[in-house]
Chain A
Amino acid sequence: MTIEEDSSGVPAVPEERATDGITATGVSRKFGQVHAVEDMDFHAPAGKVTALIGPNGAGKTTLLLMLASLLAPDSGAVSVGGLDPQRDRAAVRSRIGWMPDTLGVWESLTAREILTQMARFYRLPAAGIGQRVAEMLDRVRLADLADQPARVLSRGQQQRLSLARALIHDPSVLLLDEPASGLDPGSRVELRIMLRQLAQEGKAVVVSSHVLSELDEIADGAVFVNKGRTVKQQTTEEAHAAGRRYAISATDGAALAAKLHELGLAFRQEDGRRPAVSLVLFNDDDAARLLRDLVLAGVPVSSFAPASGALEETYMNLEGERR
């Protein structure tokens, strides 16, 4: 029942690249001697949430800057709905919404003024701007604070304002750099729901993060990057299929260990606060069967739960390979 880690190792690049969504092919970018991004491939299809996952300094932000058409790749190409940012700058810009990791809020302006200005910068028709701004303020629940200067907004509120700012021109591609950092759990759930909605509306949503438990719930697929390279590209289903680590604890640890030995399962003693063991299970059926076996065998199981998200599992495995 235990499995070997997915040993293919080769970045899974889909053969046919649709013109929808946003695609980067073999992009490289270096800053001086530092290769921030090297020959990276990335594809985020329309209507899906794609997670961009990697440790700090892996090149996530650099890749997002290139996708956002702010930074030109040294080599390789970026395509937004089939358009090249270098040549069709305006067309690409009006399709991209970008939320940077630094919030960058004009502090003395009110939320309404900020969104109005952004609408003007995107040359939305003047007549509709007021209504569009009110709509966006409602959507990110800032209508009550619309006429407060942005500096009095909390971090979470500023983050929501930043999201509204990225959405003001109804882009078809949404690039979010660490959107969940600094958000309280309630706001995270809200963000998650909103991103799912946006994907359902047909937008290609790219979320970079290293908070993996969250991405499990929202992302349809993930691109793992490390040291400036695409390490792996997989859907969340694939990640789930690759097995998931479960943590089991029992009031009688010895009995648990004995039973697992008896079942012939490889497991690992976890050195957490509570004594527990963990092991990788293929799927939910395996988990259900194991739990039943343990309980029937009289093992006093006190907890039985996934130890980590599916994406986290992949991430940690990749990290392990690197070491």
Chain B
Amino acid sequence: MELPVRVIPCLDVAEGRVVKGVNFLGLQDAGDPVELSRKYYEQGADELTFLDVNATVDNRSTTYDLVTRTAEQVFIPLTVGGGVRSADDVARLLGAGADKVGLNSAAIARPDLIDEIADRFGAQVLVLSLDVKRSGGRFIVTTHGGREDTPIGALDWVIESIERGAGELLVNSIDADGTKAGFDLDLISAIREVSSVPVIASGGAGSVDDFAPAVRAGADAVLAASVFHHGELTIGDVKRAMADNGIRVRS
């Protein structure tokens, strides 16, 4: 039996507010995270993701507080990413009410961090987030929200991170992010081929018809931000469109 495809709204948060920009630039205020989380929960979201887009040591307490207030009201899984640099950061987020943590740049800088987190909390808490773009005919991993390239091939990084203990992959296409032109289907299917863990597709959703192709390309879950925040689409719209395409969703 097949699991229903999860629909996950992502809230990019900064200083306790939701923000969204195009290609990670020009951030705009898009609302109150707790209020939006409750709305998505009521619409049938399968999980929630918070991404702290400018996490620094100074403003972490704002994020912990936000996570706690959300987890008190919304009884679905909550993943929190952004600024996670140590296993102790993970312990604090889980303690605040997060179920999973997203790990990105810090894992690229020090891959052993993946092993440390998986050994202490289990692979199932660790969502490895990759910001991927095309470069020189292949997919490479970028850092700093897509602004800086690395020499690391995305597929090599996926294989290594799963071996080290990543429990899930959040694959964000920098090329597609914010364009609303649809998910990067080549990227999703390339990652699916080498991944033994669930794959969450992210970046590029613009209409209800964009989601089913991502699932056919191999996504176990689909993630989007701005189309939900601006009220263009509801979670229900996306699920109905997928169901009409023969894809199993949780009603």
Chain A partners chain B: no
